[in-house]
Structure 1
Amino acid sequence: MTTTHLLYLHGFRSSPSSAKARQMAAHVAQHHPAVTFWCPQLPPSPQAAMALVAQGIASWPRGAMAVIGSSLGGFYASWVAQHAGCPSVMLNPAVDPARDLARYIGEQTSWHDPAERFYFLPEYIGELQALDVRGRPPAAPELAIIAKGDEVLDWREMVARYPQAELRLLEGGDHALSDFTEHLEPITRFLRLA
């Protein structure tokens, strides 16, 4: 089955302006113009973020959609894939954001626009716990691109979280996957973009 609809989910404090989101959008526009590509700005509330996504993909063909997520977006992508039964690509995915983001409660700034501020509220931790689909078998094929050089997340945890995924384990690299352009073709092949 080819993918005609592709969802991209950015990470914590990130946005559709992230390098990977823009590179993916440009790649799809140039090489797969028939594919519907959507990268929404996700609200800080995990519950609101997934409600926005669920509404946005409600009319998408379940047999021809896929999701890509980076960092916290990778955690969200696993939830979307589980509910939509679609293939997913995780880029240095957050494994336990309820644990890891507890220290970020309070006012935060956006990576791409430090003037933009938002509040990460204590109740968001419970919302993250409610979205955790660890322990469930994948609903569709998964690809995980994980950098051992990730300075934010533990690559061993990421690898252990996705035992059934097709794995691209990078010896070095970083959390941002600065070499993301090198992964566009493998992602395209894996998702069979139309």
Structure 2
Amino acid sequence: MAISHLLYLHGFRSSPQSTKARMVAQRVAERQPGVTWWCPQLPPSPRAAMAMVLAGIAGWPHERMAVMGSSLGGFYATHVAEATGCKAVVLNPAVHAARDLAKYVGEQAAWHDPAERFVFEPGYVDELRALEGGPLADPSNYLAIIAKGDEVLDWREMGARYAGARIELLEGSDHAISDFGQHIDAVFAFLDLA
């Protein structure tokens, strides 16, 4: 069944202005103008972010929606996909978000606008822990694009978390998947949006 709604969730300190989010938005606008596209600016609180996202997609048809997410957005996308049963594409997804982000407690600068600041509060680590899920209900719903060259997250942990899913393991690349343009066709094919 064709995807009619696509949600994109950006990573920690990122925004809808991320290169990958803009590439996907442009591709949807050019080739799939009938698809509902939503890439919200996520608040720093994981609980607030997930409440906002789940409220925003409450009226979406779960069988015809998909979610994409990068890094922390991949962690969130997994939570959304498990809650709705929809297809998901995760790009270098955070696996142990609470563990990895605990060291970022305090004031942070937004990646795309360093003048924009936010505070990552200690309680947010607990909120991330509360969102951690067990094994994937249906690994076939997932495409994980994982870069061995990721300088932030361990590709082995990502591969283990998405065992049974379709995994595109990139020999090099980086955390941002700077060569995402080479992989976007595979993403859209997986979502039946080619």
> In which range does the TM-score fall when normalised by the shorter chain?
over 0.9
Alpha-carbon distance change, 139 to 149 in structure 1, aligned in 2, over 3 angstroms: closer
For these two proteins, the number of residue pairs brought into alignment is 194
Alignment-derived partner of residue 143 in structure 2: 143
Alignment-derived partner of residue 166 in structure 1: 166
SS in 1 for 2:20: helix
8 Å CA contact retained: 2:139, 2:162 = no
Alignment-derived partner of residue 69 in structure 2: 69
8 Å CA contact retained: 2:136, 2:162 = no
d(CA) in 2 for partners of 1:133 and 1:34? 32
2:12 maps to a residue whose letter is F
d(CA) in 1 for partners of 2:103 and 2:50? 22
8 Å CA contact retained: 1:82, 1:139 = no
Alignment-derived partner of residue 189 in structure 2: 189
SS in 2 for 1:115: coil
SS in 2 for 1:163: coil
Alignment-derived partner of residue 45 in structure 2: 45
SS in 1 for 2:28: helix
Deviation per CA, 1:126-181: give whole Å up to 9, x if none: 10011111324337610000000000000011001100110100000000001111
Deviation per CA, 1:40-83: give whole Å up to 9, x if none: 00000000000010111011111100000000000000000001
8 Å CA contact retained: 1:86, 1:140 = no
8 Å CA contact retained: 1:97, 1:128 = yes
Gaps of 5+ in 2: none
- TM-score of the superposition, structure 1-length normalised? 0.97
Any residues of structure 2 matched to 1:111-126 within 5 Å, and which? 111-126=111-126
Deviation per CA, 1:80-131: give whole Å up to 9, x if none: 0001110100000000010000000000000000000000000001100111
8 Å CA contact retained: 2:11, 2:72 = yes
8 Å CA contact retained: 1:85, 1:139 = no
1:179 maps to a residue whose letter is D
SS in 2 for 1:52: helix
d(CA) in 2 for partners of 1:69 and 1:49? 13
Alignment-derived partner of residue 101 in structure 2: 101
8 Å CA contact retained: 1:147, 1:173 = yes
Deviation at 1:2, TM superposition (A): 1.0
CA RMSD of superposed structures (Å): 1.1
8 Å CA contact retained: 1:35, 1:193 = no
- Which runs of at least 4 in structure 1 moved beyond 6 Å after TM superposition? none
- Asked if residue 78 in structure 1 is aligned to residue 78 in structure 2, the reply is yes
- Asked if residue 155 in structure 1 is aligned to residue 145 in structure 2, the reply is no
d(CA) in 2 for partners of 1:162 and 1:62? 21
8 Å CA contact retained: 1:44, 1:119 = yes
Gaps of 5+ in 1: none
